[in-house]
Structure 1
Amino acid sequence: MSNHFTLERLLYSARHYQASDIHLIAGLPPAWRVNGEIMLAEAEPFTAAEVAEFALEGLTAEQKAVLDREMALCYSFAHEELGRFRVSIYLRNGSPELAIRACTSVLRTRKELGLPSELDELTTRPSGLILITGATGSGKTTTLNYMIDQINSSRRCKIIMIEDPIEYVHDHKMALVVQQELYTDVPNFNAGLLHILRQDPDVIGIGEMRNHDTIATALTAAETGHLVIATLHTSSIVNTVERIVGVFPAEQQPQVILQLANSLQGILSQQLLPTVDRRGRVLACELLMVDGASRNVMREAEWHKLYTQLELGSKHGMCTMDSSLARLYEQGRISYDTLLSHATYPDTFRQKYNRSNL
């Protein structure tokens, strides 16, 4: 290869720069994401053939078949020295390219992650549904693994997880932990979830609720005595409940609304934002701890009123995204521009901080 890069050298570089991701794109040199920002290597750009060689090297026949069929592939592998990596292969102009996530080998504490203390209380619930939501790269998987570790450290139970792929490997502490990977251990999330229910689980972790079938099975599992913790690709708490109900046909929605109102325990919606000095990222989040009032709102399908419940529930640890952003701004941890660009109601902040003309 003209660049003299090997995959191993790229992985070593990622760990050296403390990068969260490596991107290999035709026409560009290798790129790393460090503290949320892309850094390009000072090197010759890769050709499409070079990137394809990186992407296809070492794939099993089954993985190649998935890539051919789905036009995308996600898998993980463990390097002896460098730990675990998640590889995502996709096509551009018909040629494969890569995004590689450098997985963590050590779980950070709740304080280090910036998560609210109420999350620990949610992990003590015997059953129900807990959702972690946010955009790609917002730290949902990290939060999911933190919560699973909390349960693993404190409860004698059986935890089963379905992930795409496995990013963090849990040791058995007080709990039995079984981790299954998509395409390696199960064909899809829904089939895996149906099999899990026959394996005597207490806690079920779902890497992502992607479709109608997975959501339906997860709701049923949460209703029938299991604690289900799942991630969902949505941007806010109101958007999350609307999305869950909206994937079902109109005639099924009243039943789903009832299931959701009865089983939902909490929703954490999160964003990772650049710090003022751009040297790191900080978590902003919206948290709903489901109580009697919010269950009534859900039963009436008055989703917009959940935002008011978040505001009213501040004494119980609930918060809106805007209140979380305001706290970070007032602590000097994020900039005014970051505050406005991520706020639900930016005009409120312009008035509050008397910067309406800026």
Structure 2
Amino acid sequence: MPDAIAEKLHRWLEWTVQAGASDLHVVAGHAPVMRLHGDLTELPEAPIASDEIETLLLSACPEDALKRLQANKNADFSFECPVAGKVSRFRATLFLAGGDTGGCFRVIPDTIPDLAWAGFPADLAAKLVALRDGLVIVTGATGSGKSTTLAMVVNRLNKTGGYRIITVEEPVEYQFPREPNSVVTQREVGADVLSFADGLKYGLRQDPDVILVGEIRDRETAQMALSAAETGHLVFSTLHTRDAKGAITRFPDLFPSDAQPAVRSQLAMSLRAIVSQRLLPSINKTEKRHLALEVMWNTHPIASAIRTGKIESIDNYILTGREEGMYTCDESVRLLLRAGKITRAVAEQNVRDVKFLNH
């Protein structure tokens, strides 16, 4: 925990937590802004001056993160501070823009949410935790709840017992509770290990059953994740792509072109499922956003499409794969619209074909 967070920043973090917002943005020249149910709302404060913002933000920054900020112009870290009589946790990203330091603070819930609260299907979670090995990828834009989904699914394994679980995160967000007959080790990139790839490499020497990799963002991490999945481990990770098809394209693109056929072959064998998600604003602006999902399971036809690079056929296999538990984001959006949870305008913005909503 930082020694003494600046009074102003502490006050803004308190307001953010008490409002139930997800993020606080602190940028020079703007009043502090929080994101509440997907919308940006200014706090009743004056715009932040360039000559004070660095002092404010660095008051929350631990020494190791400060060194990363100075070296890389960016730093991710987590920290705790007291809010309304209890300790709250935050994920922080500090960055430079126009010569000024800026910051974004994500509120981390003190407990891992349950599936019903998040709107994540219990039957889908049950299928994911029943997997014995292989790679599961969760995709979606920043802020779409990927970390929450991974935490909920992995915590089900944790509660079941009998699993050695290793996580490699940047930074550590949800903290897994101690459960009988389970051992969880959470390592933070930058603080406990140098990179995601190193976390995976050394994690494989710690007798894991389940590995959670916060994000696959480079070739080394992608290769280690594939190798771990191939050798009998269940690996969960995220990619920043719009949908399942995008994830299948993005993964081999992390490698040189001459290596991509071999990588597609490995992915076709090791991949188990891709879950792509979005958070859509509620019809009631005071309520939390609703989860829309696309679910793809790696069936034989999909594995063949991955291996041969015929990615354009993936969407059709998802459409026709309902018996295997697959469905498109369009179908998920249509269900939310019919249930009266989102507006027609939001639904139309999030489907490929507006006519589909009328079927």
TM-score by structure 2 length?
A: 0.93
Q: CA deviation at 1:65?
A: 2.0
The total of aligned residue pairs comes to: 348
Query: Which residue number corresponds to residue 316 of structure 1?
Result: 324
Give the 5 Å matches for 1:28-39. 28-39=30-41
Deviation readout 1:8-38 (Å, 9 max, x if unpaired): 2222211210111111111122211111111
Q: CA deviation at 1:61?
A: 4.0
C-alpha spacing 1:63/1:291, structure 2 compared with 1 (3 Å): same
Q: Which moved more, 1:141-150 or 1:169-178?
A: 169-178
Deviation readout 1:323-351 (Å, 9 max, x if unpaired): 111111111111111111111233544xx
The alignment yields a C-alpha RMSD, in angstroms, of 1.6
Q: Which moved more, 1:214-223 or 1:40-49?
A: 40-49
Q: Work out which of the residue numbers 151, 156, 161 in structure 2 matches 1:145.
A: 151
- Equivalent residue letter for 2:334: A
Q: Work out which of the residue numbers 235, 239, 248 in structure 1 matches 2:246.
A: 239
2:319 counterpart SS class? helix
Q: Which moved more, 1:266-275 or 1:303-312?
A: 303-312
Question: Does structure 2 conserve the Cα–Cα contact (< 8 Å) formed by 1:321 and 1:344?
Answer: no
Q: CA deviation at 1:60?
A: 4.1
Query: Which residue number corresponds to residue 128 of structure 2?
Result: 122
- Equivalent residue letter for 2:115: R
1:77 counterpart SS class? strand
Q: CA–CA distance in 2 between the matches of 1:36 and 1:138?
A: 10
1:146 counterpart SS class? helix
1:132 counterpart SS class? strand
Deviation readout 1:74-130 (Å, 9 max, x if unpaired): 100122423211111011111101100110112222122111222321112111000
Query: Which residue number corresponds to residue 269 of structure 1?
Result: 276
Correspondence 1:294 to 2:302? yes
Correspondence 1:84 to 2:89? yes
Correspondence 1:190 to 2:197? yes
C-alpha spacing 1:72/1:288, structure 2 compared with 1 (3 Å): same
Q: CA–CA distance in 1 between the matches of 2:7 and 2:42?
A: 14
State percent identity of aligned pairs. 32
Q: CA–CA distance in 2 between the matches of 1:124 and 1:334?
A: 32
Q: CA deviation at 1:226?
A: 0.6
Q: CA–CA distance in 2 between the matches of 1:237 and 1:304?
A: 11
Q: CA deviation at 1:47?
A: 0.4
Query: Which residue number corresponds to residue 266 of structure 2?
Result: 259
Q: Which moved more, 1:21-30 or 1:61-70?
A: 61-70
Q: CA–CA distance in 2 between the matches of 1:130 and 1:318?
A: 14
C-alpha spacing 1:96/1:290, structure 2 compared with 1 (3 Å): same
Q: Which moved more, 1:263-272 or 1:58-67?
A: 58-67
- Equivalent residue letter for 2:248: V
Query: Which residue number corresponds to residue 159 of structure 1?
Result: 165
2:245 counterpart SS class? helix
Query: Which residue number corresponds to residue 48 of structure 1?
Result: 50
Q: CA deviation at 1:63?
A: 2.3
Q: CA–CA distance in 2 between the matches of 1:83 and 1:60?
A: 16
Structure 2 stretches lacking a partner, 5+ long? 1-5
Q: CA–CA distance in 2 between the matches of 1:25 and 1:251?
A: 43
Q: Work out which of the residue numbers 229, 236, 249 in structure 1 matches 2:256.
A: 249
Q: Work out which of the residue numbers 90, 110, 118 in structure 1 matches 2:115.
A: 110
Q: CA deviation at 1:317?
A: 2.0
Q: Work out which of the residue numbers 97, 101, 120 in structure 2 matches 1:96.
A: 101
Q: CA deviation at 1:155?
A: 3.2
Question: Does structure 2 conserve the Cα–Cα contact (< 8 Å) formed by 1:12 and 1:82?
Answer: no
TM-score by structure 1 length?
A: 0.93
Q: CA–CA distance in 1 between the matches of 2:354 and 2:253?
A: 28
Q: CA deviation at 1:46?
A: 1.1
Q: CA deviation at 1:287?
A: 0.3
Q: CA deviation at 1:218?
A: 0.4
Question: Does structure 2 conserve the Cα–Cα contact (< 8 Å) formed by 1:127 and 1:225?
Answer: yes
C-alpha spacing 1:240/1:58, structure 2 compared with 1 (3 Å): closer
Q: CA–CA distance in 2 between the matches of 1:59 and 1:296?
A: 48
Q: CA–CA distance in 2 between the matches of 1:130 and 1:60?
A: 33
Deviation readout 1:283-321 (Å, 9 max, x if unpaired): 001001222232222222211111111111112321101
C-alpha spacing 1:46/1:228, structure 2 compared with 1 (3 Å): same
Q: CA deviation at 1:58?
A: 5.0
Query: Which residue number corresponds to residue 75 of structure 2?
Result: 73
